[in-house]
Amino acid sequence: MKKRQRAGFYFILPWLIGLIVFTAFPMLAAAYISLTDWDIVGNAKFIGLDNFKNVFRSEEFIKSLWVTFRYAILAVPLIIATSLTMAVMVSKNYKGMRIFRVIYYMPAIVSGVAVAIVFKWILDPSYGLINGVLSFFHIKGPDWLYDPDWVLPSYLIMAMWGAGGSLLTYLAALKDIPQDLYDAAMIDGANTWKKVKYITIPLMTPIIFYNLVLGIIAAFRKFTDAYVLGGAGKEGNFYMVYLYEEAFSHYRMGYATALAWILFAIILLLTIIVNWTKKYWVYSE
Amino acid sequence: MSWGKRKKTGKHLGRGRLTALYVVLVLGSVMMLLPFVWMVSTSFKVENDIFSIPIKWLPQKITFENYIKALRVVPIAKNMLNTVIIAVPKILGEVFVSALVAFGFARFAFKGRNILFMILLATMMLPYEVTMIPTFMIWSHLGLSDSYVPLVLPAFCGSASFIFFMRMYFETIPKDYEEAAWLDGAKNLKVFYMIFIPMAKPALVTISLWSFMGTWNDLLGQLIYIDSQHKYTVQLALASFSSMTGETLWGPLMAASCMALIPIIALLLYAQKYFMEGIKLGGIKG
């Protein structure tokens, strides 16, 4: 039996090595690098907390944080509401629902640069699809990514389009709601809306909570779309794009690492706050 | 619990409301598919049709000019091959090692197992951004920064979310299955190979797909490590093509995007069962 126990340790060894080499050591290094002035080529110069002080004094940092924060606060609830609605609609086993599930889920699979480019074209102010359709109704569409005020809505449109990413988690949770509850409600004469409000939504709160946490993290880590699309007036300069530029275009490794720690702290703090609100709205048995 | 039960209640939805549901679903699907239709349509249009007011839904005259122009700048087949060269060893390592580690966590009560598993969960929360720069420094000091090694090698230490997922799956396998084999004196690795791997096939296919999608769609990681143009992946080639051309070359850009998306959409349609089955295993995302 002792031997078998030791064997288990050998099985997890690859992961343990990875933990030390690719997580623990880089984290220690990141702690040190964030306290230095380092442009890769030369030696790192220890400067204490100067990077952090400079970050908070930087207008670009404030701006990119504000862009990211505003996006997160609007996109996360929008995505949750959209994908939850989709899930409720396609959850029943009517004819053709499998096809709808695949269609709604597809944008989550085909993310990446190609999709960002397609959206840039769709949002084109003069010849794009959206403004083209609007002009049929004699509405002059905005300049989207070329107008600072319309950059955020542009990103929200894209986010809504990709909302089906969490569809599968909601479908799994919907499947687990006992049918008896709906049957009992029906006998009591509840209509569809009441059933959704008093049965479906409360029982879905644990999975909504899970997707809320993941959604916040994903919003703060948004990179690919923002890197490709940009946006007028630096309104598309999301936090990760800013961090990437500082590290790999300006080679300010110490400063960028400080940015990474601040991002980590923000995500951690938000997760703790959301977790604290759990007791007020998440259903538990 | 089962889909079957649900079917019964379906009959309670009246005819009018069922029609309304379908109308909404079809409208939603149109919204979802429109970007793809627009992309394909644009890629076959001549320039005059692309830059036309009012917009033209379909090409008036079908042309392959955009594809020819795109291929002249973006060697998409080579870029795809490069992505596959990264993806194949990465999937093999990530899936196999994650399963191995999950087996260790699921079936052996070694010392410190619970604490180590807690650490594993914690690393799932840890942002990649913090370790990104130091890891880059390490690879570039080793002279491996403009290569695929930094993108592939870490996969052979497993992935925390895949380990978590596979452990969950292994724990649903009754212990009786392997008990007999163990009593017969089979080696641990043999039990893993002969019993756990075959039984976990659907789960392994699911995480392989996640791993592949992750590699195919990853921009940041590839952007950091790959500099040489002949090593460009699909994502890098598209990103550089898009920043190079500015706003004028929508036709070739759509042709390139189209070519980059076809394999992925084909894979989704072909393996949709495995993507959708993924939820039954617990519904976590890769």
ipTM of the complex: 0.89
User: Does B98 lie in the same domain as B223?
Assistant: yes
Q: Is residue B285 part of a domain?
A: no
Whole-Å CA distances, A225 to A241, B34, B97: 10, 18, 31
Token pair, residue B180, equals 């007999």
Closest chain B residue to the Cα of A165, Cα to Cα = B285
Are A10 and B34 a contacting pair at CB < 8 A?
no
Nearest CA of chain A to the CA of B55: how many Å?
A: 6
User: Does B36 lie in the same domain as B126?
Assistant: no
What CATH number does residue B142 fall under?
Answer: 1.10.3720.10
Q: Is residue B21 part of a domain?
A: yes
Range with the poorest average pLDDT among A1-15, A213-227, A253-267: A1-15
Cα end-to-end distance, chain B, whole Å:
25
Q: What is the pLDDT of residue B271?
A: 87
Instruction: Closest CB to A110: pick one of B31, B253, B264.
Output: B264
User: Does B186 lie in the same domain as B130?
Assistant: yes
Instruction: Closest CB to B132: pick one of A40, A122, A260.
Output: A260
Give the residue-averaged pLDDT of A123-150.
93
User: Does B81 lie in the same domain as B195?
Assistant: yes
Q: Which ranges of chain B have pLDDT less than 50? A: 1-11, 281-286
Chain A residues closer than 8 Å to B101 by CB: 11-12, 14-15
Question: What's the rounded Cα separation, in Å, for the pair B256 and B71?
Answer: 8
Token pair, residue A80, equals 């949750």
**Predicted TM-score of the model (pTM):** 0.90
Closest chain B residue to the Cα of A264, Cα to Cα = B127
Q: Is residue B29 part of a domain?
A: yes
User: Does B142 lie in the same domain as B259?
Assistant: yes
User: Does B105 lie in the same domain as B49?
Assistant: no
Q: Pick left, alpha or beta for residue B59 (phi over 0 → left; psi -120 to 50 → alpha; otherwise beta).
A: beta
Q: What is the pLDDT of residue B52?
A: 85
Name the pLDDT band for A3 (thresholds 50, 70, 90).
Answer: low
Q: What is the pLDDT of residues B199-226, one digit of tens each?
A: 888 889 989 998 999 999 999 999 999 9
Give the residue-averaged pLDDT of A1-26.
87
Residue count (chain A): 285
Chain B residues closer than 8 Å to A89 by CB: 21, 24-25, 28
Q: What is the pLDDT of residue B279?
A: 57
Residue among B32, B83, B168 with most chain A CBs within 10 A, to mutate: B32
Give the residue-averaged pLDDT of A142-160.
95
User: Does B117 lie in the same domain as B16?
Assistant: no
- Write out residues 36-95 of B within 8 Å (CB-CB) of A: 36, 38-39, 42, 50-55
Domain end point (choices B17, B41, B63): B63
Strands, DSSP E only, in chain A?
Answer: 36-37, 45-46
Contact indicator for B98, B192 with CB cutoff of 8 Å? no
User: Does B258 lie in the same domain as B224?
Assistant: yes
> Does the structure show a pLDDT above 60 at A10?
yes
Instruction: Closest CB to A5: pick one of B109, B269, B280.
Output: B109
Q: What is the pLDDT of residue B236?
A: 96
Q: Is residue B101 part of a domain?
A: yes
Range with the poorest average pLDDT among A113-122, A214-223, B48-57: B48-57
Q: Pick left, alpha or beta for residue B187 (phi over 0 → left; psi -120 to 50 → alpha; otherwise beta).
A: beta
Phi, psi of B93 (to 5 degrees): -65, -50
Q: DSSP letter at B231?
A: G
Give the residue-averaged pLDDT of A48-76.
96
Across chain A, what does the average pLDDT equal?
Answer: 91
Higher pLDDT, A178 or B81: B81
Q: Is residue B59 part of a domain?
A: yes
Domain range spanning residue B7? 3-63
pLDDT > 90: percent of chain A? 69
Domain end point (choices B43, B63, B83): B63
User: Does B137 lie in the same domain as B16?
Assistant: no
pLDDT > 70: percent of chain A? 99
Are A172 and B137 a contacting pair at CB < 8 A?
no
Domain end point (choices B40, B63, B86): B63
Contacts of A219 by beta carbon, 8 Å cutoff, 6+ apart: A68, A71, A72, A75, A76
Residue A37: strand pairing partners: A45
Q: Is residue B7 part of a domain?
A: yes
Chain A residues closer than 8 Å to B10 by CB: 92-94
Q: Is residue B286 part of a domain?
A: no
Contacts of A14 by beta carbon, 8 Å cutoff, 6+ apart: B97, B100, B101, B156, B157, B158
Q: Is residue B250 part of a domain?
A: yes
- What is the count of structural domains for chain B? 2
Question: What's the rounded Cα separation, in Å, for the pair B151 and B210?
Answer: 16
- A74 residue type, one letter: L
User: Does B55 lie in the same domain as B179?
Assistant: no
Q: What is the pLDDT of residue B31?
A: 94
User: Does B91 lie in the same domain as B118?
Assistant: yes
Q: What is the pLDDT of residues B24-77, one digit of tens each?
A: 999 999 999 999 999 999 999 998 899 988 888 899 889 999 999 999 989 999
Q: What is the pLDDT of residues A222-231, one digit of tens each?
A: 999 999 999 9
User: Does B73 lie in the same domain as B115?
Assistant: yes
